[in-house]
Amino acid sequence: MIHRLTRPETEQAVRLNEDLVFHFSTEVDRTSVTQDSVRIVRADGVPARGRLVVEGARVRFVPAPVLAPDLADGGYSPGARYDVVIAGFPRPDGLRSVDGAPLASTYRWSFRTIDAEGRGGPCFEDRDPDRVRPLRFFPAPQGGPELRYPIQPLDAIYLRCEEPLDPASLVDGAFGLRPRQGPEVRLRVRLLENEPQAAARPRPAWVRSSAPAEAWEREPRAALVELSPVTRLSTGPWRLVFHPEVPTLDIAVLQLARGLPPLPIAIPRTLRGAPRDLGGHPLWEPALVLVGIPVAELGRDEGRGVWLEEFVDTRLRSTLAVPGADGTAAWSDSGRVEVRFPKAAGDGRQGDIELVGPQTFRDLAAIRAFVPPGSTCRLSDAPGPVVLRTQGTLRIGGRLERRSSGRSPMHFASGTLSNWIDQVLATPESVAARELDWTILVAGGDLVVEGEIDVSTPLLLVAGGRIRVSGSVVSALGAQVFRLGEGGGPGLTASIVEELELDPPTENPLRSPLRFAVLSGPLPSRGSVAEWLEAEARGSNLRSNRDRQDGEGGRWSVRYVPELARPPTAPEDLAAVDSPELLARPGSIQILIELVVEPGGRWRPPFVDSVRLAWREFAGGDR
C-alpha cells in the first residue's frame, strides 16, 4: 500500500475547520488507524484535536469545531505549523490495508493554518456558500395570537442555526432582554455547538432550559447559541433586544518621551455584533425581537431553591486555603474562576528546593521552595537585588532573613511586573548595588509565611495565588514592604503596588503540573435543604462537568464539600464528592473548584465560569 495524495494540496493557510484527507492505493484497515499511526502535531508538540474517519482508501481528519470568539479552541491553533506523520514500514503499529499489507514507508507532511485575522484568506471553509439559514429560537416558540418563548428566572435563551457560525461574530453586549418597564438586562453570548452539518441531536446536559427534552430533538441544528442573563430575571414579559454595533475600548500604551513612564490610553472602537455564517453572511432575523419571552416560576420549581454562581463578584468566595493545592485559584469579578499565574514566576529550572543556611543566588527560579520550620535561610548580604521565584508554592515555615548595607528605597514605574524585574536584574552591578538593594519574592501559586521574614532591605511580596501570612514580615526600613496580589494576614503591614500589572506568560513555562483551588462559602446561606436535586458546572471548552474535564492547558473539576466546621488542614478533611446528591445527609455545602495546569503547549489554563445548584427546601411539616 502506498500514499497517493493529500488534500488540501497546499501546505499553507489551511482553514480552521478544513478536513485533511489522505488518499492511499488500496482500502485501509480501520483497526490500523489510531492516534499513534496517524499523528498530527503542532510544532511545539501539542496534537491537533479531532477525529479520524476511514472511508475506503481514504483517511479523513475532521478537526474539532471552533467555539471561542478568539478562534483558539478548535482542532487547530490559528497561525501555527503542524507536522503530519503517518506510520509505515517497518513500524509494527503503522497503517495497513485490509489484506494486511503495510504502508510502504512512513509518510511525512507539514502545513500551516491561517491566522485568526484571516490574513491570506477566510478563516473558515464555507461548504455551502449559496444558502443562508437565519437564526431561530430553539426549541421553537409556542404558537397562539403571538409567538411566545417561556422561560424561568434562571433559564438561558437558545438560538439554533442549520449551518455553522463564525465564532468571532458573536459579540458580548450585542444581545439583551428588555422588560415592559425597567432597565435592559445584558445577555452573555456563547457558542455551544458548531458542527459542519445540521442534525437532530439530544438536548445537551448543560443547558438551562424549561423546554422538555423531546422538544430539543424535533428540529435539526448545526450551531447552538446560548444567551445567558447576567442576573436573575424578574417574572413578567420580556423582549429580546439586538444591538448590531457594540462600543468597546482598546487599551494602548503611549510613550511620550524617553525616560518617562508609558501612558495607557483608551481608544474607542465599535464591534460589529451581527452573527455570520462561515461565508460572512449575516444571519440575524429581525422577527426574533417580536417573540414574547414571558418569565415565570413554573411548577417544577415550587419548593425549590436554586443558586447560579457566575463569579461576577466575590460575595460567596471563601479565603480558606485548600490543602494540597499549589495556589489559590482567582475568583474576582471576571465571570470565571481562573489561574492568575505571573510570567515573573520564572521557568522553574532549579526544581523543588529546600532553602536552609546561607544562599548566594541573585535570581533563583524554582518549581516550589520551602524554608522548613525551625531552620533559617539567609539570603545574600551583598548589596543589589535578590529575586526568589517559584512556579508553585513559596512557603516560609522557618526564618528567611537578609542583611545588607544598602538603604535604597524601592520604586516602581507603570508597566508589567515581568518587565520591571527584568530591568532590575539587567541594571549594571555597580548601579544596582547602590540604587536597587531590594529583596523580591514571587510565587506563581501561594506565598505562605508561617514563620518569619526579617530583612534589612525593601521587600516586595508577589503571589499569583494568594499571600497568606500567619507569621511575621519585617523590614528594617519600616514602610518599605510592598505586596502585589491578593491576601495578607495579621503579621503583614504592606503597601499595595498599583503601578505594576501581574502579566501572564505567553508560552507555557511549567516544568510540572500545578494545582490551583478555591472554596466557596456555605450554600444555601439561609433556609434548609431537604434534598439536593442537581448540580451542574461549566468551564473550559463549554462542556458539562460532573467530575473533571480535559482541556488543552489542563483540566478542571467542581466538587462539593459538607459545610466545614473548621479550616481544613489535610485533603481528607474536605470529604469532597462529585455531586451533592452523594452526600450522606442534606445540608449546607461548599463548592470546591480545582484547576490543574499541565506543562507544554500554549499558555491556555483551564477555567470554570458557572456553577448551578438546585435543592428541595423543607416544607412546613417536613422537619
Pair (143, 292) in one structural domain: yes
Pair (141, 41) in one structural domain: no
Q: What is the pLDDT of residues 424-438, one digit of tens each?
A: 999 998 888 888 999
56 in helix, strand or coil? Answer: coil
Pair (347, 447) in one structural domain: yes
Does pLDDT of 622 surpass 50?
no
More confident residue, 273 or 200: 200
Domain assignment of residue 117, yes or no: no
Pair (494, 561) in one structural domain: no
Domain boundary among 112, 144, 169: 112
Does pLDDT of 623 surpass 70?
no
Domain assignment of residue 125, yes or no: no
316 in helix, strand or coil? Answer: coil
Domain assignment of residue 131, yes or no: no
Pair (351, 496) in one structural domain: yes
DSSP assignment of 537-605 equals: EEEGGG-EESSEEEETTEEEEEEEEEPPSS---SGGGT--BSSGGGSSS---EEEEEEEEEPSSSBS--
pLDDT of residue 477: 79
Mean pLDDT (whole number) for 366-376: 97
Pair (294, 147) in one structural domain: yes
Pair (179, 323) in one structural domain: no
Domain boundary among 454, 481, 501: 501
Four-residue CA torsion sign, 544, 546, 551, 555:
positive
Mean pLDDT (whole number) for 96-107: 94
Domain boundary among 449, 476, 501: 501
Pair (375, 231) in one structural domain: no
Pair (567, 465) in one structural domain: no
Domain assignment of residue 262, yes or no: yes
Domain assignment of residue 100, yes or no: yes
CATH number reported for the structural domain that contains residue 104 in this entry: 2.60.40.1220
Set of cell numbers at residue 20: 485533511
Query: Exposure string (b/e) for 207-219, b if CB count within 10 Å is 16 or more?
Result: bbbbbeeeebeee
| Dist CA 196 CA 118 (whole Å) | 20
Does pLDDT of 470 surpass 80?
yes
Does pLDDT of 269 surpass 90?
no
Pair (430, 467) in one structural domain: yes
Pair (287, 359) in one structural domain: no
Does pLDDT of 250 surpass 60?
no
Q: What is the pLDDT of residues 527-579, one digit of tens each?
A: 678 888 888 898 886 444 444 444 556 899 999 999 998 999 998 899 899 99
> Can you give the residue range of the structural domain that contains 532?
304-337+510-617
Mean pLDDT (whole number) for 106-113: 93
Does pLDDT of 245 surpass 80?
no
Does pLDDT of 29 surpass 70?
yes
pLDDT of residue 202: 86
Give me the sheet containing 467-469, strands edge to edge: 352-354, 368-371, 394-396, 447-449, 467-469, 487-488
Domain assignment of residue 443, yes or no: yes
Domain assignment of residue 35, yes or no: yes
pLDDT of residue 603: 87
| Count of domains for the chain | 4
Pair (362, 488) in one structural domain: yes
pLDDT-derived band at 249, boundaries 50, 70, 90: very low
Average pLDDT, the chain: 87
Domain assignment of residue 556, yes or no: yes
